[in-house]
Structure 1
Amino acid sequence: MSEPLMVLKKPSYPLTQSLLSYLERYERISKVSVFYDDLLRFAGSVNVYDKNETDTLWIRVYYSEFERNEIDLNLKKVYSLLHSDGNSEIIQFLNIDAIDYCTFGNSKPFRIKVRNILNDNYVHFYIKKADASRIYGLELEDILSPDKINFLVFKDTLIEEHIIGIPGDVFMDTLLDNCTEMEKSQIAKEFVKFNERCMIRLLGDMRAYNYVIVPIHDFDQVVYKIRPIDFDQQCYEGNFKVYRPQFFKENYPMIKLIKDKLEERSIIQYKDEERAILAKRIHSAENRIKKLLNIMCHDTISTEEHLNQLKMELYRYTNDMKFKNAKSMGHIMFAAFEFITRNFKNTNLI
């Protein structure tokens, strides 16, 4: 049996003042006082089961009447900040249907279900302990991925919108076999691109339950997109394979799909396409990325051992001395983005 790619649990890293100033500059600071620790003071809980009566490992928590009124109001205000720029008029039409607490994983988030009482539509968002690695991951996702993501920070608390989609493991277990052959080919293509995107921006731990499959109905077909939903393994691990979803055994059905459906030249083409798109995004958001990475260069978001291991593995992978000379994870990210943009500058793609 092969050894697991990740062994130790990742620690949480505090947000520096420089990072907080950056977040304020780009309107990521919450105007509502909401603290993760306040939600931990629940009076009791019950287990949450899915439609098949399987324990989800989430618990539904409840609070004393006095605390619940204050918590509900603040959560409604948070929702209005996330979705309507703080419009207080909508608060009267909102109800906090449920507050669930996750009992596993690194971040142990609270999941908030907010319902509009006028039409019974509802959405979720999450409240977690703010972690610098996750913040960098969320920012890079918002800047570089095909999809935008909304989040807010209040001191040591992170408020993160829910990303809609079918968890990768659920999709592979229940839906993948029923896809048409054309859909399977398209999913294989998307996983190649997803794998390349994670590798270049060093987003780690994309096991099947850390990303979602998003089916989009076009006029004559269903198109599938893949989105990450967990960002706390941004630039932490030293093993380069952790940043390449292809190496997790949980993703084997996707790897088999690629082998069955795509020729080697198609795989190379899709990788080049994704690199070209990333190069364009890096170029168009150059100033913002530089600000973020300059902060990351002076931040500690990993161990010295991981840093040394990763920069040497990347040097051997690319033969680029900038990786070997990197002094921090921020410097590694600079080197990665320069490597991509440099390779496409002479192709008229950026």
Structure 2
Amino acid sequence: MTGPETTGSKIRWGIFGSGGIARRFAQDMRFSRTGTLAAVASRTPENAQGFAQLFPGTKVFDDFNDLARSDEVDAIYVATPNALHKDHSLIAISAGKAVLCEKPFACDAAEAREVAAAAAAANVFCMEAMWTRFLPIMADLRQRIASGELGQMVHLEASLGFARTERPGDPITDPALGGGALHDLGCYGMSIAEFLLGPFQLEGGTVERSATGSSRTAAFVLRHATDGAAALSTISVSHATQMRNTLVLSGSQARVTLDAPFIQAGYGTLSPVRFAGDGAAPDSLRARLSDSLYGQKAKRMIRAVMPGHAKISAPFHGSGLQFEIDEVGTCLGGGRTISEIMPPETTISVLNALEKLDGSQASIS
């Protein structure tokens, strides 16, 4: 198909699903350079009608297949429960429509490979909607890493926890629908760690489950090979509590802390790394005072004006989903079926690691 980069026209989007993430996608469409909302279909027709009332001009289809075959739609955003992602992506691909599928892309790596293979065979664009990878601040971090500003990469620490009561039928928590903290939130940490530090090996992890088998809290460690040296990522996620929801990227020269929640960050702080021995001896009175409770408070107060500390600003309008929308538009305009920012092999590698964790009843190593 001819994309907006070559004709100036916009990609007409159809949405599978009418829940919260579908509404956020539709709301952020107004900030997109390349897309426009055209249609919606839902498992419950009444919900689709209600969605269309919120977004006037949206055509309602009673059936997913009918929407996919419509000449009024160029691309489809799959926003249905996780367990339906594979089947709904395949419906869109079989109709020749570009696919942006909400994370997690599929319930396991085998499903993801099936969808990716179908898209490749049909020469159709297909991408996981890991929207955080497309935020302006993530591009900023990649540039700082590439320039050497942070030094040799050493560690990434990410926490992501949003307390959510478990209930049957909830696609976020119900394991029968592909729910649970591991797939809902763990995929963010893994994907962003890969994006910033490169391919990884799962070194170990543990998952705490509810009586229904839903993953409520999980923690895991990744090892990355970066320029001949190893960097580690430690990631924790939870539906059982609220976490700090920050991301700290640490190098040998500087570290960056992204404001919470990091998956939607528009701001961060760059801080220098100072090694012991560069100033006061570790056992000196000055060093002990610096490490005391009062010393830590004082350092926080003056951090903003100390040399080397800087605020990173990359704000945006809306929720930030417009950037993944525009990535699809740019790829289609350039005749590409794969995004370099979110390629299928990365999606599959993340799902492989999630499977290893999800299949473990105890810690793995």
TM-score of the superposition, structure 2-length normalised? Answer: 0.25
Which one has the bigger strand percentage?
A: 2
Which one has the bigger helix percentage?
A: 1
TM-score of the superposition, structure 1-length normalised? Answer: 0.26
